[in-house]
Amino acid sequence: MVWGFRLRHIGLKAVLTRLSGEKARLGPDPAQSLGRCLALASAARHSERWIASETQCLRRSLALMHLLLRNGLTAELVIGVKTKPFAAHAWVQAEGHVLNDTVDETRRFTPILVV
């Protein structure tokens, strides 16, 4: 809900700018743990069962990015598109591992923006 509100009231560009700023403040972390990223992504996934989220990939991905950043972990928010039929999708990845989706699903999309 929070991310839907933010997207409606300040817009996607402002949300992504803030997210990018949070990542920049953390800086690169050579000691980052992929295991910690996966554990937090798993926890987020379990909480999603209480929310109808089939069409909420952007909101879920923004929430996961925020959770990771608040825990001192960096990842990448990826937004991709496909044609025939046109569709857009968002997911989070860390160290080349997709955290909140399947690799097969993300391969269907061409990344157009990585934050």
21: nearest Cα among 66, 63, 54, 71: 66
115: nearest Cα among 24, 46, 54: 24
Write out the two tokens for 45.
Answer: 């996934």
pLDDT of residue 29: 62
pLDDT of residue 54: 55
- The Cα 43–Cα 22 span in angstroms is 21
What are the residue ranges in the chain where pLDDT is below 70? 1-2, 28-32, 46-55
